């Protein structure tokens, strides 16, 4: 049974991961990650892999919408949805 991860539990981990790419720039939770110019084309795959490994979930094809990864808030909301979803058996 998955642990229900709250948005507030997920955000610090997401911010810590993003800090590796943004250096001294502190990104706001609602700031568009892709509009900053700090990330390259490999970043989205690194972000997806981080989300999957850090939160023990699978990002499905239907989850691969830019809107799900564009802000800290959006990534945290995706994690919360995925972690609280019932497990199909």
Instruction: Look up the CATH superfamily of 7-84.
Output: ACP-like (1.10.1200.10)
- Cα 2 to Cα 10, 17, 58, 62, 82: the distances in Å are 14, 22, 12, 20, 9
Q: What is the dihedral of CA 68, 71, 7, 28, to 10 degrees?
A: 180
The rounded distance, in Å, linking the Cα atoms of 12 and 88 is 29
Q: How high does pLDDT run on average in the chain?
A: 90
CA 13 to chain centre: 9
Give the model confidence (pLDDT) of 17-54 as tens digits.
999 888 888 899 999 999 988 888 799 999 999 999 99
Higher-pLDDT residue of 3, 33: 33
Q: What is the dihedral of CA 59, 40, 74, 45, to 10 degrees?
A: 10
Checking if the pLDDT of 87 tops 80, the result is no
Q: Model pTM?
A: 0.88
The two structure tokens encoding residue 18: 């993003």
Reported confidence tier of residue 76, pLDDT bands at 50, 70, 90: very high
């Amino acid at each position: 049974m998955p642990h229900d991860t709250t948005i507030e539990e997920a955000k610090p981990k997401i911010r810590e991961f993003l800090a590796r790419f943004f250096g001294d720039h502190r990104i706001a939770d609602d700031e568009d990650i892709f509009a900053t110019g700090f990330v390259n084309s490999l970043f989205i795959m690194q972000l997806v892999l981080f989300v999957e490994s850090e939160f023990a979930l699978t990002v499905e094809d239907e989850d691969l919408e830019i809107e799900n990864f564009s802000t800290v808030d959006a990534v945290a909301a995706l994690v919360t949805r995925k972690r609280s979803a019932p497990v199909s058996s």
